[in-house]
Structure 1
Amino acid sequence: MITYNPKDWFTFIFRFHKADTLRKLAPLIAGICFYCWVILLLELHIFKLGESSHVKQITSMHTLLSFVISMLLVFRTNTAYDRWWEGRKMWGSLVNNSRNLAIKINSMLKGEEMAHRSFFRKAIPLYASVLAHHLHAESTRLALDETEHPELKTIDTSRHIPNQVASLIFQRVNLLYEEGKIKGDQLIVLNNELQSFTDICGACERIKNTPIPFSYSVFIKKFIFFYVMTLPFSFAISLGYLAIPVVGFIFYVLASLELIAEEIEDPFGGDENDLPMNKMASNIKKHVAEIIG
């Protein structure tokens, strides 16, 4: 995840980060500008349409559709950010619950229970590490896909590793109860943190393998494409060749919003703005080791 100073305006304006959408859209913007130049050449010099009624109708259409496309893109980006933020909240909960479980285990176990302490010092942060790896895996993203993927057959998907680690932690807690080293009410106190691990994993999997509905995403892309493709017809008369950079800029803005939404709707990927799960798992390991000495 990119860390930055939100008050440093000039750095944002004049620096092009590799995650900037302008880098990704540069070839398409160049193609749109060339297409716009061809339309202007045909409309102004060959067909010489001038102030025809058909051109005015196209302009009126763009006025009406501009509001529609703005609403669609606002909803698209808000939905994608909600998914990103929910993923961040889930991992924030995992950090807090890992600390709470370590604090409770440390207070319940006596100082001489070194074997049990060593187990929890390793097992609690291990869950965060295997969950990060599980969410990075391509097989997790395609868990609900009805299409066969032969390229993933070499991956062992028969075993759910985060569930196995959570099961080992719960088995050790239950063993402590059977040995009389923790009481029944203490077992109930630990249950919330133990259960939260699986709940967090399930919520992250829901975000990972349930993308934005296909028809909705395709419709927005088509809408942007045909909207931009018809802009030169209405801008040719009013702006002349100045319409070339204007149309290119409009395409850059609209397509950038869609690209940003595509990037943040899966917060568990490997993009620049995705969640730093490995870093958070490393912090969990550090904090748990400090608590369970």
Structure 2
Amino acid sequence: MIPYDPHHWWRHLFKLRGGVVQEIGGRIGVFALWSVALTWFHLYVHKIDVPATGHTLAGTALSLLLVFRTNASYDRFWEGRKLWGGVVNETRNLLRAAVVNIPAVDLLRRLAAWTVVYPYALTRVLRGSGDLGPAAALLPAAELERVLASSNAGVAVAMRMSAVLAEARHRGLISDYVQLQIDQNVQLLIDYQGGCERIVKTPLPFAYMLHLRRTLILFILGLPFALVETFGWATVPVVVLVAHTFLGIEEIGVEIEDPFGTEDNDLPLEDISAGIGRTLDEIVPWKEKGVV
């Protein structure tokens, strides 16, 4: 994700990074050449203009389709951010309760390490690749290899977090009730992970995407016929402007419908994971310093 200040209007106006011009530039070029050819044919060979009424009606319907597409994609993007906000909160709650209730520093440090590893494991699940972060160096290599070899690294890490809590109970350091209460945070992490996986594995319906793109292509291809008699050679820049607007809106929907990738407009999962690690690094030393 690209950080920016929305108050600086002109500063970002001509930036290419983070925009969609590079993605849609080729398509705009095709429509521009098409409009050039039709305008030349109309002006020098034979008139081919049609009434603009049909395009006016089709444009209204197309606008509604694009609005729905963008809203649906942003809902997925914002839900993904809320789910990761939940991951941040539950990791804090888990370690906060563990620091107060588990007296053994060795178990607490192991639980903290697995908790810091968890968001990296979740990122690995959502992207299909990735390491387990710097905190992995604090954990046994054999267990890390089993996590990496598992089909779902997030669940594998969560199981080890629960195993640490079970060990604390077996040692008599915490009661069954305390174990259950702290483990509820682990359960919520799995719930949030399930929400993220739902977004990744459930794209927008294929029929909707196909119909929108077909309608978009036909609309822009037919636009020069409706404009050429009135605009002449100005038809070309008008078609380019309309294509840039409509194709850009559709491409933005594509960019943000899966917010867990590595593109410029996706969520900064590495930064969020690193932030979780810094927060937990501040919580755990409280036990070692005798604050709790």
TM-score (norm 1): 0.87
Offset, 1:28? 2.3
Please give the alpha-carbon distance, in whole angstroms, between the structure 1 residues aligned to 2:187 and 2:73.
28
User: Aligned-residue CA RMSD in angstroms?
Assistant: 1.7
1:187 alignment partner AA = Q
Find the counterpart in structure 2 of residue 47 from structure 1.
46
Please give the alpha-carbon distance, in whole angstroms, between the structure 2 residues aligned to 1:273 and 1:24.
13
Alignment of 1:1-293 (within 5 A): 1-13=1-13, 15-48=14-47, 55-56=50-51, 59-110=52-103, 113-137=104-128, 159-293=151-285
Which consecutive unaligned segments of at least 5 residues does structure 1 have?
139-155
Offset, 1:158? 5.5
Please give the alpha-carbon distance, in whole angstroms, between the structure 1 residues aligned to 2:84 and 2:187.
15
Please give the alpha-carbon distance, in whole angstroms, between the structure 1 residues aligned to 2:68 and 2:197.
23
Please give the alpha-carbon distance, in whole angstroms, between the structure 2 residues aligned to 1:81 and 1:157.
33
Total equivalences in the alignment: 268
Give the match's secondary structure for 1:5. coil
TM-score (norm 2): 0.88
Find the counterpart in structure 2 of residue 146 from structure 1.
none
Give the match's secondary structure for 1:7. coil
Offset, 1:100? 0.7
Offset, 1:132? 0.9
User: 1:82/1:221 Cα in 2 relative to 1: closer, same or farther (>3 Å)?
Assistant: same
Offset, 1:284? 0.9
Contact 2:223 2:239 in 1 (8 A): yes
Of the two structures, which has the highest relative contact order with CA contacts closer than 8 Å and spacing of 6 or more? 1
Which consecutive unaligned segments of at least 5 residues does structure 2 have?
130-147, 286-292
1:98 alignment partner AA = T
Give the match's secondary structure for 1:232. helix
User: 1:265/1:114 Cα in 2 relative to 1: closer, same or farther (>3 Å)?
Assistant: same
2:5 alignment partner AA = N
Give the match's secondary structure for 1:6. coil
Please give the alpha-carbon distance, in whole angstroms, between the structure 1 residues aligned to 2:54 and 2:48.
18
Among all aligned residue pairs of Structure 1 and Structure 2, give the percentage whose two residues are the same amino acid: 29
